[in-house]
Copies of this chain bind each other. A is one copy, B any other.
Amino acid sequence: MNKKGLLVIVSGPSGAGKGTVVDILKNDSRFALSISVTTRAPRINETEGVNYFFRSEDEFKKMADNKEFLEYAIFCGNYYGTPISYVNQKLEEGKNVILEIEVQGALQVKEIFKEAILIFLTPPSINELKHRLENRATEPKDRIEMRLNRAKEEFDMMDKYDYIVINNEIEKASNDIKNIVYAEKMRANRNLYLKNILKGDEIKC
């Protein structure tokens, strides 16, 4: 099978549990997290090339002009972007690169990077989502209501995704994602180079 890694976009509504599931996945040596470029100042304990690539706003904008990002966005006055070069480097090393990203960004990345696997991670119901957001207890009621309405809109985007993973239990959800990636590696269109190998040399599995 093709040794190159796959880009795995884990997306879905806020409160679906993307962060927790990705935390489990990144412990698997076959996976690597995508590292973002940011213009925000490093916090204590944050390391260049581990948590983020820290760049000035000028440097960031130059990268954006050169189309060096899969996607980028502004949040609280700081820029954040996914650098194509880092993603490609990890893919070439054979790692499956996980990109954890909200729904709009995910769909943009899929536009550029068509061979990416787009996974919609969802809570088992809107009630469970509400319950999770309320339990976080970090946000006022009207903001939770806004997130729930947005989630309902995001559910309508499901048909643009490749897979839907229901996050009822985080270990199962992360195994489901591993399973999807393993199966995707056997996709015929990712392995057509086998045609000629099969006629000749032995294949290393």
A-side residues, CB < 8 A to B, are 1, 120, 122-128, 152, 155-156, 158-166, 168, 176, 179-180, 182-184, 186-189, 191-192, 194-195, 197-203, 205
Q: Give the complex CA separation of A1 and B176 in angstroms.
A: 12
Could you say how many copies of this chain the assembly holds? 2
* Contact between chains at B183 and A161 (CB < 8 Å): no
* Contact between chains at B202 and A188 (CB < 8 Å): no
Query: Chain B contacts of A162 at CB under 8 A?
Result: 187-188
Nearest B residue to A118 via CB reads B188
What are 30 A-B residue pairs whose CB atoms fall within 8 Å in the complex? A120-B188, A122-B198, A123-B198, A124-B198, A125-B198, A125-B200, A125-B201, A125-B202, A126-B199, A126-B200, A127-B202, A152-B199, A155-B194, A155-B195, A155-B199, A158-B191, A158-B192, A158-B194, A158-B195, A159-B188, A160-B188, A162-B188, A163-B183, A164-B186, A164-B191, A164-B194, A166-B194, A166-B203, A168-B205, A179-B183
Nearest B residue to A191 via CB reads B164
Query: Chain B contacts of A126 at CB under 8 A?
Result: 198-200
* Contact between chains at A158 and B203 (CB < 8 Å): no
Query: Chain B contacts of A183 at CB under 8 A?
Result: 163, 179-180, 182-184
* Contact between chains at A156 and B195 (CB < 8 Å): yes
Q: How far is the CB of A95 from chain B (nearest CB, A)?
A: 19
* Contact between chains at B188 and A158 (CB < 8 Å): yes
Please judge, given known A-B contacts A155-B199, A179-B182, A186-B180, whether A1 and B166 are in contact too, CB under 8 Å.
yes
Q: Which of A125, A162, A183, A201 has the most CB of B within 10 A?
A: A183
